[in-house]
Amino acid sequence: MERNVAWNTYNETEQKELEQISAEYKLFLNGGKTERECTTAAIRLAKDAGFRDLKEMIQTGETLRPGDRVYSDCMGKAIMLFIIGSNPMENGFNIIGAHIDSPRMDLKQNPLYEDAGIAYLDTHYYGGIKKYQWVALPLALHGVIVKKDGEKIDVVIGEEEDDPVLCISDLLIHLSGEQLQKKGATVIEGEDLNVIVGGIPLKDEEKEPVKANILKILNDRYGVEEEDFLSAEIEVVPAGKARDLGLDRSMILGYGHDDRVCAFAQIRAILSIEDVPERTSCCILADKEEIGSVGATGMHAKYFENNIAELMNLTGEYSELKLRRALKNACMLSCDVSAGFDPNFAGVFEKKNSAFLGKGVCFNKYTGSRGKSGSNDANAEYMAKLRKLMEDAGVQYQTAELGKVDVGGGGTIAYICAAYGMEVIDSGVAVLSMHAPWEIISKADLYEACKAYRAFLLNA
Ligand code: MN
Ligand code: MN
C-alpha cells in the first residue's frame, strides 16, 4: 500500500515541465488573491485559448457544435469553462470543480476609524482562520469600490515594490503574560483584527484628523468618499509574492493554495485539450466554499445547473428530462486541497491514511468529520475506475483522510454535486499550514494534479 515518491519517477523533460508549470502557477497566485481576480485571470486565459462568452451566444442564439469552447462567469466571482464534446450531453459530461475563494479578512461596511492618533480599518474575517496568525505581518488590500453611479474601481494596495503595506499589531511580549495564558482561539479575537492604515493628521482638521487624511488620500487616488465603503468589497490578504520553498526548491510558499492550486491545475487541464473530447469537458471555479458554498456565487446556487441548461439549449438537445439525465450521468472530480502529513503535529494524523507532500495528487474517498458527518462518500466502483484511469495515464496518486477520526475534519463542494446523482470524489493537492496566511505545497503534487485533471477530462 506504500505510494511512490513522485520525484523519483521524473526524467529531465518532466522536471523541466514541472518547473514551467510551477512558474506559471506562482504568477497565477500573485495575480489572483481574490475570487474576482481569479475569475478575471481565468477569463483572460480562456479567451486567449479561443473560449467565447456563453452570455453573448445566448443572446444571439448561436448553435454550439462539438469542439466549441465557451465560458460563463457568475457575477465576476465564479466561472465555468466548457469544451463541447462529440457525445450528446444527455449521456453525461466530465466535471472538474474547485473553489477560488480563500480565508482572509474582509473590510466591514463602515471600516475606517481613528484611535490614539492611528487610523484603522476594521475587518470581519472570512472562513476558518487562526486569528493569531494574521497579526504582525505585511498585508495588502484587494477589491472593488462601486460608486452610486455604478462606476467600479479596482483597488490593489501593497503588492508593488514601492507600495506601502498594512499591518495588524500584536501585543509586545513584555506585557503578554496574561495574553499567553489564554486559549489559542482567543489570543487574538475577531474584533482585534484592526488594520493600521495611517498616522499623519490632516492640517487644520480638528475632528479625527488622521482619519481625515486617509480619506483625502483615498479621494485623491480613487475619487471615493467615506460613504463609498458601503458599497465596496475589499479583502485584506497577505502582501507579497508566492516563492519557492526549500533549498532544493521543491515546494511553493504562497497565499491561497486552498484552493487556487486545484483551480490553476483545472484551468491548465481544460486549456490543454486541443481535440474534440468525446464527453463535454466542464471546469467549475466556485466562490464561497470557505463559508459553506452559500450565496449566488457559491456551489449551492443554481448557476451551475442553469448554465448546463443553457448549453444544452444551444446544442439543440434541451429538455427538462435530458438536463436531469446529463447531470445524473456526469462524473466529477471535486478538486480541493487535502491536509498534508506534518511531522511537527503527527499526533492528529493516522499515518497510513494520510497524504504526504510529494506523493502525487490525493484522492479522498470521503471527507467530513467525526464519523464521516457531512461527507460525500464516493462509490467503490467509481474509485476503481479512477485507479485504472490514473494508472493508464501515468499519474502518481495517493489516498488519504483528513486527520484522525475523532480529531476534526472538513468538507468541500463534492456533496453538493453528488445530490444530482452523479459520481463524485474529492481529489486535490496536500497542503501544510492550510488556512494560514502562507501555505505550503509540493511542486510535484501540483504537477501530478495537472496531469490527473487532464486525463480525467479526456478519459472519464
Ligand atoms: Mn478548500
Ligand atoms: Mn479551506
Are residues 113 and 32 part of one domain?
A: no
On the question of a cis peptide bond just before residue 192, with omega within 30 degrees of 0, the verdict is no
Give the distance, in angstroms, between the CA of residue 106 and the centroid of all CA atoms in the same chain: 16
Which set of grid coordinates corresponds to residue 68?
A: 466549441
State the distance from the centre of ligand 1 to the C-alpha of 259, rounded, in angstroms: 5
153 lies in some domain: yes
State the distance from the centre of ligand 1 to the C-alpha of 428, rounded, in angstroms: 9
Dist CA 96 CA 269 (whole Å) = 9
Torsional sign, CA 289, 292, 296, 301: positive
The DSSP secondary-structure symbol of 79 reads E
Are residues 336 and 285 part of one domain?
A: yes
The DSSP secondary-structure symbol of 133 reads G
Q: Tell me what pLDDT residue 50 has.
A: 97
Question: What is the arithmetic mean of pLDDT over 78-106?
Answer: 98
Q: Tell me what pLDDT residue 319 has.
A: 98
Dist CA 34 CA 262 (whole Å) = 15
38 lies in some domain: yes
Question: What rounded mean pLDDT belongs to the chain?
Answer: 97
Place of cell 486559549: 183
Helices (H) and strands (E) in the chain, counts: 11, 22
CATH for 212: 2.30.250.10
* 3-class DSSP state of 129: coil
* Amino acid code (one letter) for 28: F
Which set of grid coordinates corresponds to residue 346?
A: 503527527
Question: What is the arithmetic mean of pLDDT over 71-83?
Answer: 98
State the distance from the centre of ligand 2 to the C-alpha of 182, rounded, in angstroms: 25
Q: Which of 238, 267, 302 delimits the end of a domain?
A: 238
245 lies in some domain: no
Q: Tell me what pLDDT residue 370 has.
A: 86
- Among 361, 364, 359, residue whose Cα is nearest residue 266: 361
Nearest ligand to the C-alpha atom of residue 129: 2
State the distance from the centre of ligand 1 to the C-alpha of 292, rounded, in angstroms: 11
Q: What digits encode the pLDDT tens for the residues 223-273?
A: 999 999 999 999 999 999 999 999 999 999 999 999 999 999 999 999 999
Torsional sign, CA 171, 172, 176, 182: positive
Nearest ligand to the C-alpha atom of residue 334: 1
Q: For residue 439, give its domain range.
A: 6-102+255-459
Q: What pTM value is reported for the model?
A: 0.97
Nearest ligand to the C-alpha atom of residue 99: 1
248 lies in some domain: no
Q: Which of 238, 263, 291 delimits the end of a domain?
A: 238
- Among 40, 55, 449, 68, residue whose Cα is nearest residue 281: 68
Which string of b and e fits 405-444 if b means at least 16 CB within 10 Å? eeeebbbbbbbbbbebebbbbbbbbbbbbbbbbbbbbbbb
Nearest-Å Rg of the Cα atoms of the chain is 23
State the distance from the centre of ligand 1 to the C-alpha of 289, rounded, in angstroms: 7
Domain tally, the chain:
2
- Among 34, 62, 55, 32, residue whose Cα is nearest residue 44: 32
Are residues 36 and 147 part of one domain?
A: no
Are residues 334 and 359 part of one domain?
A: yes
26 lies in some domain: yes
Dist CA 27 CA 15 (whole Å) = 19
Dist CA 453 CA 460 (whole Å) = 10
Residue ranges near ligand 1 (ion) with Cβ within 5 Å: 258-259, 336
Are residues 111 and 72 part of one domain?
A: no
Are residues 166 and 32 part of one domain?
A: no
361-364/397-399 β-pairing: parallel
CATH for 61: 3.40.630.10
- Among 55, 48, 54, residue whose Cα is nearest residue 68: 54
Q: Is the pLDDT of residue 408 over 90?
A: no
Nearest ligand to the C-alpha atom of residue 286: 1
Q: Which of 186, 213, 238 delimits the end of a domain?
A: 238
243 lies in some domain: no
Are residues 91 and 122 part of one domain?
A: no
Dist CA 358 CA 170 (whole Å) = 35
Are residues 323 and 435 part of one domain?
A: yes
pLDDT band at 27 (very low <50, low <70, confident <90, very high): very high
Q: What digits encode the pLDDT tens for the residues 209-228?
A: 999 999 999 999 999 999 99
State the distance from the centre of ligand 2 to the C-alpha of 394, rounded, in angstroms: 28
422 lies in some domain: yes
Place of cell 429538455: 319
Q: What digits encode the pLDDT tens for the residues 159-201?
A: 999 999 999 999 999 999 999 999 999 999 999 999 999 999 9
244 lies in some domain: no
Are residues 378 and 433 part of one domain?
A: yes
Are residues 110 and 36 part of one domain?
A: no
State the distance from the centre of ligand 1 to the C-alpha of 104, rounded, in angstroms: 13
Are residues 403 and 291 part of one domain?
A: yes
Q: What digits encode the pLDDT tens for the residues 265-316?
A: 999 999 999 999 999 999 999 999 999 999 999 999 999 999 999 999 999 9
Question: What is the arithmetic mean of pLDDT over 42-59?
Answer: 97
State the distance from the centre of ligand 1 to the C-alpha of 370, rounded, in angstroms: 19
Are residues 127 and 56 part of one domain?
A: no
State the distance from the centre of ligand 1 to the C-alpha of 260, rounded, in angstroms: 9
State the distance from the centre of ligand 1 to the C-alpha of 402, rounded, in angstroms: 12
State the distance from the centre of ligand 1 to the C-alpha of 99, rounded, in angstroms: 7
